Amino acid sequence: MNVDENDLLHPAHRLQNTYNEYKDSADWLLAEISIRPQIAVICGSGLGGLADLLSDKITIPYEKIPGFPKSTVPGHAGKLVFGELSGKPCACMQGRFHFYEGYPINEVTFPIRVFHLMGIETLIVTNAAGGLNDDFKVGDIMIISDHINLPGFAGLNPLRGRNEERFGVRFPCLSDAYDKTLRQMALDSSQDLGYQDFIHEGVYCMLAGPSYETIAESRMLKILGADAVGMSTVPEVILARHCGMRVFGISLITNKVVMDYNSQQKANHEEVLQTSRDQAEALQSLISNLVGKIN
């Protein structure tokens, strides 16, 4: 039997988990639930209330799931909820994992390959983000059209290491990372709900965190073409696309990024959570309406 040296390392020192570790987690979950989810939703900071909209819920804490890390950030409940949303069987992550929590990047993205092996074909990612675009206001919603993986410029990519062909090709294309059809359906949903005045499309930029960006960094990101900035989402999107899943992403603009050295404003997580609570209903309605349109 051929054994890859990666398989012999302690999980904290691996570049990737093994295929069997993902499969064990997927098989365990499928044995625990009666439904077969088609769509997975990852809830960002303060947005976990979306899971409360599911009917016939089955809730499983992350710590019970083989291989799953534990969420440690306020606003992330750390539960996987299964049920129906707008008539579609869904899995909803109440809280995600972040690189800044100390997890290696393969642990941050662990659930994505598990979802793929469970038969999930569509991934919806949500996050709280700082607004870089001058036209964005606090409480606005941005449909993600593209992203800038700034940590990836330094090699922080979840696909680094041995490629597992059972998931996808060695060099996946990301020019179509965010599904155009799903984006248009979301724009249609915003019209249905009367949300068009605070819905935008734009480019999301990921930083590793946990410190917020400096003014110089914020100005640089704006020059690069970013409309919003946050500390998550991109690693999950990369792995989902590697698996061939369709992806839809959305950012809730929870604060305006400080660009002026004379400003007295300071970014803080409490503001992020409060804005998330204030706009939770609108974002949940938008996603529910979108899910109802997905074939």
For the annotated catalytic residues, the residue numbers are 45, 76, 98, 100-101, 128, 231-232, 255, 269
Rounded-to-integer distance, Cα 84 and Cα 68, Å: 23
Tokens representing residue 66 in the block = 């083989």
Cα 279 to Cα 94, 124, 139, 153, 177: the distances in Å are 17, 18, 6, 33, 26
Task: Report the 10 Å Cβ neighbour count for 278.
Answer: 14
Angle of helix 110-117 versus helix 234-242 axis, rounded to 10: 30
Exposure string over 220-250, b if 16+ CB within 10 A, otherwise e:
ebbeeebbbbbbbbbbbbbbbbbbebbbbbb
H/E run at residue 23 = helix 19-32
Distance from chain centroid for Cα 4: 30
Nearest to 133 by CA among 59, 203, 76, 77: 203
Amino acid in position 95 = G
Amino acid in position 162 = R
Tokens representing residue 97 in the block = 């994992």
